Amino acid sequence: MPELPELNPVIHGKLRLALLSLLIGVEEAEFTWLRSKTGATDGNLGAQLLKLEEAGYVSVEKKFVQRKPQTLYRMTDAGRHAFIEYVQALKQMLGGAIGS
């Protein structure tokens, strides 16, 4: 029986997984947009985004637009790669679970 892969713990967190799933479909996203899509609190969202940033899965850009602060998040190539690997592993595990 083939060995089942392990799931990446950085991505596996529910909110972090939701964030990466949102970011993979867009070029860049504002903090406020991510907050409204996930329904997370500012503190929790900021903490999870920081973990993703520390892992090198997202990059952050802070700027001012019309004198208002704007924080933009982008998925990095490493993040895209890790996310795809995670989905493949998840599907493989589910395939194994269904088959067993």
Partner 1 sequence: MTANAEEQELKDRLSLIESMIAEGRRTTGTWAWTFVFWGLAYYVAIAWTAYNQWPNAWLVTMTGAWLLCWAIIRRQQKNQTERKPGTTIGRAILSIWIAMGVSLSLLLPALGFSGRFNQHVFVAVVAAMMGFANGASGMIIRWKAQTATAIVWWAATVAACFGSDDQCTAVFLVAIFLCQIVFGIYGMVCEARMRKQRGATHA
Q: Is 18 in the site for partner 1 (CB under 8 A)?
A: yes
Q: Is 26 in the site for partner 1 (CB under 8 A)?
A: yes
Q: Is 97 in the site for partner 1 (CB under 8 A)?
A: yes
Q: How far is the CB of 16 from partner 1 (least distance, A)?
A: 9
Q: How far is the CB of 57 from partner 1 (least distance, A)?
A: 15
Q: Is 88 in the site for partner 1 (CB under 8 A)?
A: no
Q: Considering only residues 22, 59, 76, 85, which one is a binding residue for partner 1 as defined by CB under 8 A?
A: 22
CA distance 6 to 89: 7
